[in-house]
Amino acid sequence: MPLDIDKEQAALERMTAGQLANRFAELFGELTHSRHRTYLIRKILWKLQTREAGGLSERAVQRAKELAKDTELRVMPPAELEPRSPVAEVTTTAPVTRDKRLPLPGAALIREYKGQRIEVTVLPDGFEYEGKRYRTLSAVARTITGTHVSGFRFFNLEGGK
């Protein structure tokens, strides 16, 4: 019986993330830690289609592995690459709210900790510490101390909201 991809997709859409993970393990022969429903549905549908239509030939798989072995993997676009068309301006209707305890983006949070000067830069969408970006101030504090601690408490920013 041929694969009805629309019917399979509809059935997968009704499954919970746990059921999708079990179906993934059944098809791929390995567990997944992902609970991202869209990802799991796409991977499962892909596997079903390759079973039905056949995947790449063994020769093609080997050639791809050879090519990948000798290739430099680029994870960032070249710096000189310019966008071909202007980027549209995005406007939002909901007001952007930010925690009043935080200084404005660009400000530095400085603290002495175990004899070292700790400096964290406030960004519009997070924080930067030692060249690495963090989403929350608590994540920065966890990196520094090695244990969970409130970022606001660690940097003495616990004033009222």
Whether residue 103 has pLDDT greater than 90:
no
Question: Does residue 137 lie in a domain region?
Answer: yes
Question: Does residue 123 lie in a domain region?
Answer: yes
Question: Does residue 83 lie in a domain region?
Answer: no
Chain segment 33-70, per-residue pLDDT in tens = 889 999 999 999 999 998 888 888 889 889 988 888 87
Question: Does residue 120 lie in a domain region?
Answer: yes
Give 81 or 147, the one with higher predicted confidence: 147
Pick from 26-35, 95-104, 142-151: least confident = 95-104
pTM value? 0.40
Alpha helices per DSSP H over the chain: 5-13, 17-28, 37-53, 58-69, 137-145, 151-154
Nearest-5° Cα angle at 32, 26 to 36: 110
Same domain, 9 and 61: yes
Question: Does residue 84 lie in a domain region?
Answer: no
113: helix, coil or strand? Answer: strand
Question: Does residue 143 lie in a domain region?
Answer: yes
Question: Does residue 131 lie in a domain region?
Answer: yes
* Residue 41 belongs to domain spanning: 5-69
Q: How many domains does the chain have?
A: 2
- Main-chain phi, psi angles of 111, to 5 degrees: -155, 145
